Structure 1
């Protein structure tokens, strides 16, 4: 059930096969040299595998579908995007741990058209939006819910930092960004590095929201997700038509 870590590792492996330096840059640095957090340049959706049988006690999905869909987005130029698209064609890989998994073969890659970005847009989170906070005395991060008073402030701060660390364009500050939830939230998360000594559970939130920001912020979200830890599959969202589509 906690397959996101293995997908992230596979994406890095594909990039590394083509360009070792670029993959190492993504993994170790992302963009940005002067921020306390360094951001990765991609995000990905959940696997679309129909309605699997759930073995909850073993934390396993039993999948009967033969065609599975995964969406990946990269916050890079169009030229780099076309290059990356070619990397994933005809890839064969194993997804899982040493006990349970599936052999996959990429049957096709399709590039989705970029949407038209406006200042106010509506989104539905498909993977959790993580907002974390850690003091000097905290051993582990605190994963906030939208009910926490600092959630909105830290969420917007993250978007501004992410933009500053990946762009050399016009200046953007927190005052240019606002968002509001338009549905109730659900706590959700998954385990990173399962089966290792670095195993940890990261928890975020699922909800629909309205975001007002410069169009370039929306373009960044389209390419690299809205959340912290986007390269591990958090913060993938789809554009909706607003409250009427809930």
Structure 2
């Protein structure tokens, strides 16, 4: 059930096969103002797998999938030339998705570029994967994963979006005061296990809800192409537009 880690690892593998330097940069550093910047971002995100209604083996944390064609959306916050290059990388890829006990062999049968929506300064979104907002005190060993009930949630949400934008784009800067995110419904806590079955195994928890975002157009484009959440390269913060 926690397949997101394996998808993220596969994406890095595809990139590394084509351009080891680019993949290493994404994995180890990400985008940022300079090499010494502590806030570096990996500007891609991906959706959940679309495999219909699988059989759920809850005790074993497994999906049993009968569909023969499965869809996945991947988005990179790059220019059009790089986008066409990346599109070509994924054509006809063959790979195994899973751990050493359970998984599926896949072959990419088709890659299609999807159009962007028409962006406006006020837009409504549905979170398909959880929005992670974390806070770590100086002496804490692990971060706290906040819910919208926590008093720091709203301020850290817009602070992260502004930092993500400002650390990856030059020269125009955006302040948190230019961004307003308003939740439209109740939230549901959800998360994924990362690096399952290893010593580094951990669970990252976020929140699912619908929201209205008022922000400059560039911020909307960024979250559409790179997710709105922390850890977007692990599949968190994938948004879909609400008409």
Classify the TM-score, shorter chain.
over 0.9
CA distance in 2, matches of 1:138, 1:59: 30
Deviations 1:121-168 (A, max 9, x none): 000000000000001111111000001111010011100110011111
- Residue pair 1:35, 1:161 contacting (<8 A) in 2 also: no
TM-score normalised per structure 2: 0.98
Secondary structure of 2:59 counterpart: helix
- Residue pair 1:183, 1:207 contacting (<8 A) in 2 also: yes
Q: Does residue 208 of the first structure (1) align with residue 210 of the second (2)?
A: yes
Deviations 1:53-108 (A, max 9, x none): 00000000000000000000001001000000000000000000000000000010
Aligned residues: 241
After superposing the two structures, state which structure 1 stretch, 5-14 or 35-44, moved more: 35-44
Name 1:244's counterpart in structure 2: none
CA distance in 1, matches of 2:231, 2:39: 10
Name 1:8's counterpart in structure 2: 8
- Residue pair 2:92, 2:109 contacting (<8 A) in 1 also: yes
Q: 2:200 aligns with which of 187, 194, 198?
A: 198
TM-score normalised per structure 1: 0.97
Name 2:124's counterpart in structure 1: 122
Name 1:23's counterpart in structure 2: 23
Alignment of 1:1-246 (within 5 A): 1-32=1-32, 33=34, 35-241=37-243
Secondary structure of 1:58 counterpart: coil
CA distance in 2, matches of 1:169, 1:222: 21
- Residue pair 2:15, 2:23 contacting (<8 A) in 1 also: yes
- Residue pair 2:39, 2:167 contacting (<8 A) in 1 also: no
Secondary structure of 2:167 counterpart: helix
Deviations 1:151-186 (A, max 9, x none): 010011100110011111411101100010001000
- Residue pair 1:226, 1:235 contacting (<8 A) in 2 also: yes
Shift in Å at residue 115 of structure 1? 1.3
Show structure 2 runs of 5+ residues with no match.
none
Q: CA RMSD in A?
A: 0.8
CA distance in 2, matches of 1:27, 1:76: 16
Secondary structure of 2:75 counterpart: strand
Shift in Å at residue 36 of structure 1? 3.0
Shift in Å at residue 35 of structure 1? 4.2
Divergent runs of 4+, >6 A = none
